[in-house]
Amino acid sequence: MKQLLRLCQQEEKKLSQLGRQRGEAQQRIEAITQQQHNLNRMLHEYQQHTPKIANSLLLQNSTNLQLALRPMQARLTRQEILLQQEHRRVDGLWRQQLGRQQGIKWLYQKRKQDKIELNNRQEQKQLDDLASRARTNRSQSDES
């Protein structure tokens, strides 16, 4: 019984650890998404202002900045894809662990309840035996 309790506790620790990893992966995805959003907004602003720029130096600077931001955008997209894959992997592991942990916890609770019921039956049997002996002793003393 103690081994099953220890196993249940170990499985809960694993589940907690995977839950933290899952949450961290989700936070990283959200951070990348926010970075992408900011980068896209910057690109959009530069693209909107480029036709309005009369100065050739400013136009060149705007174009150069757009060219510098595009590889960053591609890197963020790749990072997001990798993080989403990692999140799905960890989420799958977390779900498996949740099922395992719940199964072991159920088994532990079932065994615990079975032991309580067995103890109750044994206690009731002892009480019944004592009551039976007391009746037998009373009826024998009444006969004497």
The full set of domain ranges for the chain reads 2-143
The per-residue pLDDT for 89 is: 96
CATH fold label, 2-143: Helix Hairpins (1.10.287)
The per-residue pLDDT for 23 is: 95
Among 19, 42, 21, 31, which Cα is nearest to 79's?
31
Rounded to whole angstroms, the Cα distance separating 19 from 126 reads 48
The per-residue pLDDT for 42 is: 86
The per-residue pLDDT for 68 is: 87
Those residues of the chain that have pLDDT short of 70 are: 49-54, 144
The per-residue pLDDT for 51 is: 63
Quickly list DSSP for 2-69. HHHHHHHHHHHHHHHHHHHHHHHHHHHHHHHHHHHHHHHHHHHHHHHHGGG---HHHHHHHHHHHHHH
**What is the pTM for the complete model shown?**
0.70
The per-residue pLDDT for 64 is: 84
Positive or negative, the CA dihedral 125, 128, 134, 138 is negative
